[in-house]
Amino acid sequence: MNIFGRSSVRWRIALIYFMLFFVVLAVVSVYLVGRIEQYQLSSLKENIERTISESNLPASLGAYDSLSESGEEIQQTLDSSWSSFSEELSVVDERLRVCASTNANLVGQSAADVFDAVIIASCLLTGENGESDAVLSGGIPVKNLCYIIESARDPGVIYVRADLSSIQAFVAQSRLIFIRAILIALLVTVILGFVLANSITRPINDVTDTVIKMAGGDFSQSVQVKSDDEIGQLAEMFNLMREKLEGTLSEITGEKNKLSTILEYMADGLVAIDLDGGIIHVNPAARAILGLSDDAPIPGDYDALMGCIAENISLSRIKASCEKQGAQDVFSRGSGIFAIHYDRFKDEDGEDIGIIILIQDITERQKLEDMQRDFVANVSHELKTPLTTIKSYTETLIDGAVEDRDTAVSFLEIVDGEADRMTRLVKDLLQLSRLDHRQERMDFREGNIVSLVKRCIIKVEMTAQQKGHQILCRFDPQETFRVLMDNDRMEQVVLNVLTNAIKYTPEGGLITVDIDADGREVRVSIADNGIGIAEDELPRIFERFYRVDKARSRKMGGTGLGLAITKQIVEEHQGTITAESTLGKGTKFTITLPRAVHKGIPNIE
C-alpha cells in the first residue's frame, strides 16, 4: 500500500498514534525502572545501616584499644553474631589491614588490595561514613559501605560489601516486564489507531469515490451520512452540492441539446470562429451553403473555409468591421447570393473571444426584389408609351389639327386605340393580381374540353382566315373528355394560345389542334408553323412582360402578360402548360389537365 497515496492519512494517523504511545510508555517505563532500582538500593543501604546501628557494632569495636591487636577476638564476635548477615562485613584497622571479616579469605589482607581504598581513606580522614559502587573481577556488581569506628584509640572502619546481583537481576526482570507490556500496548495501539483512522478516513474515501464517479458523469450516488460530527457535516454538504450540481448540469445539458438542435436544423448557416480565425463550429446549413458534404473535413481556418470566397468577407475585413458592433455584408457563390451578419461574442469576463457569422441564402429574395423592380419598370414603361402617344396626339389636336376633321378623326382613333391598349393592360394586370392573391373566383364545373376547344376555334376562325391561316383539327369532334374547369378561364387560356399562334405565324400558315387523353389526363396541343422561339428565350416566355420581339408584340396589341396569366390559370386547374419550339419553324403549346372524376358536379356543355 502506498503511504503517499489515498491511504496516507490513515497511515499517518496510525503512525502518530503509535509514536505518541511509544514515547509516553518508554518515558514512563524508564522512569519507573529507575525508581525501582533506586528504591531497591536505598532499602538495601537502610537495612545494612539499621542492622549495624541496632547491633551497636561500631561502639563495641570502638571499645578495643587496638583493632589490629584484638583481631582474633573481633573475628570471634563476627563469627558468632554476624555469620547470618547476608552481606560481607569486614573490620579494617588503622594500618589498613583486614583484621576480621565474615569472609575468612579476606582476613590479614591489605584493604587497599581488596577494597575501595579511596572511601576507606576519606572515611578515616574525615571521620564520616562513605560509600561507592564497584564491579568485582568476576563481574559481580557490589555496593561498598564504610562506617567509621570512632572511639578506638587507633581508628578503623567497618567495611560492608553488598552484592547487587539480585537487585540488578530484579531490575532487569522489571525492565523485561515493562518492555513486554509496552510491546503489547503498542500492538493494541496500532490496532486501535487503524480503527480510529478508518473511522475518520472512510467517509473521506466515500466522498472521493463519489467524486470519481461524478467525474465520470454518474451523479446518481450520494455519500452515506453516518454521523453528525464535522465529517458527517462534510458528507451532508457534499450531498447537497452533488444535488445542486446534478440539477445545474442537467439544465446546462438541456440548454446545450436545445442549442445544438436549433443549430442542426436552422435554415440559416452558422459559423463560429475564434479571433485568430480558427473554426469552432459549422452547422449543416453552413456546410451546404459552402459546398461541404457531410463527411468532408472542415478547413483549418476561416479564410480557407469562406474568407477566400470574396475579399469583402475575409477574416481581416470582418474583424475590422465588427470592431465596435455587428455588421453585415453580401457575397455570391455560384448562382446563389448570400447575406452574412456577424458580431463578436464574449466570455464571462466580457472579453471578446470569437466571431459568430450567420449566413442567409437571399437568392430567392433577391430574385423577387429584382422581379418586383422589373415589374414596376415594365408597368411604367407599358403605360408610358400609350400615354406619350395620347399626349402628343391630343396636343397636336389642340394646336389646330382638330380643325381638319379627317386628321382629327384619325388622331382620335389612334388615341382610342391607345386607350384600349391601356385598358387591356390594366385588365390583365388586375387579373394577374387577383390570381396572385387567389382572389380570382374560379367557378369549377365538369365540362367537355373538346366542346370548349371547338368553340374557341370558331371564335378565332375569322381572324385566322384574314391572315390566310388554315386551322387543322386533328381530333374527333364527337369525343368527350370531361375536365373539372372554370369554363370562361379555360376559354381564355385556349384563346390566348390560339391567338398567339395566329399572331406569330406569317400569313398562310397552318395551325394544328390535337386533343388526346389517357385514363388520367387530357392534353390539348396547339401547333403552328410560324416564326418560332429561340431555345434560350423559350423558358422565359411565361414570365410577366417577357416578349421575344417587343416591337412586333406591341404592334399586334400584345401586353406580354397573356402567357403569364395562362400559366397561372392552368395551374389553378392543377394542370401544366409547356412549349416546344424551333426558331423559324414553329411552336407547339401543350396544355395538360387532369380528367374529371365524376362526383355529381353539374355538367355544362
Does residue 563 interact with ligand ADP by CB under 6 A? Answer: yes
Measured from the CB atom, the residue of 560 and 575 that comes closer to ligand ADP is 560
Q: How far is the CB of 377 from ligand ADP (least distance, A)?
A: 17
Output the residue with the shortest Cβ distance to ligand ADP: 558
Candidate ranges 111-119, 354-362, 462-470, 553-561; the one touching ligand ADP (CB under 6 A): 553-561
Using CB under 6 A, which of 130, 155, 156, 558 touches ligand ADP?
A: 558
Candidate ranges 188-196, 280-288, 512-520, 555-563; the one touching ligand ADP (CB under 6 A): 555-563
- Tell me the Ramachandran region of residue 546: left when phi exceeds 0, alpha when psi lies from -120 to 50, beta otherwise: beta
* CA distance linking residue 131 with residue 115, whole number of Å: 11
Does residue 547 interact with ligand ADP by CB under 6 A? Answer: yes
Grid coordinates standing for 594?
Answer: 387532369
Measured from the CB atom, the residue of 301 and 549 that comes closer to ligand ADP is 549
Q: How far is the CB of 295 from ligand ADP (least distance, A)?
A: 47
Q: How far is the CB of 290 from ligand ADP (least distance, A)?
A: 39
Strands in 336-346's sheet, in edge-to-edge order, are 279-282, 269-274, 352-361, 336-346, 327-333
Cell numbers 367557378 correspond to: 443
Candidate ranges 87-95, 436-444, 465-473, 546-554; the one touching ligand ADP (CB under 6 A): 546-554
| Interior angle at CA 290, CA 284 and CA 292, nearest 5 | 65
Restricting to residues 495-524, which ones interact with ligand ADP according to CB under 6 A? 496, 500-501, 504
Measured from the CB atom, the residue of 307 and 560 that comes closer to ligand ADP is 560
Q: Which amino acid is at 508?
A: G
User: How far apart, in Å, are the Cα atoms of 269 and each of 187, 287, 357, 431, 576?
Assistant: 74, 7, 8, 39, 35
Restricting to residues 61-80, which ones interact with ligand ADP according to CB under 6 A? none
Grid coordinates standing for 447?
Answer: 365540362
Does residue 553 interact with ligand ADP by CB under 6 A? Answer: yes
Q: How far is the CB of 530 from ligand ADP (least distance, A)?
A: 5
CB 446 within 8 A of CB 601: yes
Using CB under 6 A, which of 197, 273, 315, 548 touches ligand ADP?
A: 548
Q: How far is the CB of 269 from ligand ADP (least distance, A)?
A: 38
Grid coordinates standing for 191?
Answer: 490496532
Measured from the CB atom, the residue of 513 and 531 that comes closer to ligand ADP is 531
Measured from the CB atom, the residue of 167 and 564 that comes closer to ligand ADP is 564
- Which ranges of 350-404 does DSSP label H, i.e. alpha helix? 363-398
Measured from the CB atom, the residue of 116 and 528 that comes closer to ligand ADP is 528
Grid coordinates standing for 165?
Answer: 546481583
**Nearest C-alpha neighbor of 529 from the set 602, 484, 586, 462:** 586
Q: How far is the CB of 483 from ligand ADP (least distance, A)?
A: 22
* CA distance linking residue 115 with residue 13, whole number of Å: 57
User: How far apart, in Å, are the Cα atoms of 233 and each of 43, 214, 229, 238?
Assistant: 60, 20, 6, 8
Q: How far is the CB of 378 from ligand ADP (least distance, A)?
A: 12
Does residue 530 interact with ligand ADP by CB under 6 A? Answer: yes
Longest Cα–Cα distance of the chain, Å, equals: 205
Using CB under 6 A, which of 106, 285, 531, 570 touches ligand ADP?
A: 531
CB 439 within 8 A of CB 404: no
Using CB under 6 A, which of 541, 577, 593, 596 touches ligand ADP?
A: 541
Measured from the CB atom, the residue of 120 and 502 that comes closer to ligand ADP is 502
Q: How far is the CB of 364 from ligand ADP (least distance, A)?
A: 23
Angle, helices 562-572 vs 487-503, to 10°: value is 150
Cell numbers 590479614 correspond to: 108
CB 174 within 8 A of CB 33: yes
Does residue 559 interact with ligand ADP by CB under 6 A? Answer: yes
Measured from the CB atom, the residue of 244 and 555 that comes closer to ligand ADP is 555
Count CB-CB contacts under 10 A for residue 388: 11
Does residue 587 interact with ligand ADP by CB under 6 A? Answer: yes
Q: How far is the CB of 427 from ligand ADP (least distance, A)?
A: 12
Restricting to residues 445-504, which ones interact with ligand ADP according to CB under 6 A? 496, 500-501, 504
Using DSSP, state whether 519 is helix, strand or coil: coil
* CA distance linking residue 447 with residue 455, whole number of Å: 13
Q: Counting Cβ atoms within 10 Å, is residue 504 exposed (0-12), middle (13-18) or buried (19+)?
A: buried
Instruction: Name the site residues for ligand ADP (rule: CB under 6 A).
Output: 496, 500-501, 504, 528, 530-533, 541, 547-549, 553, 558-564, 587
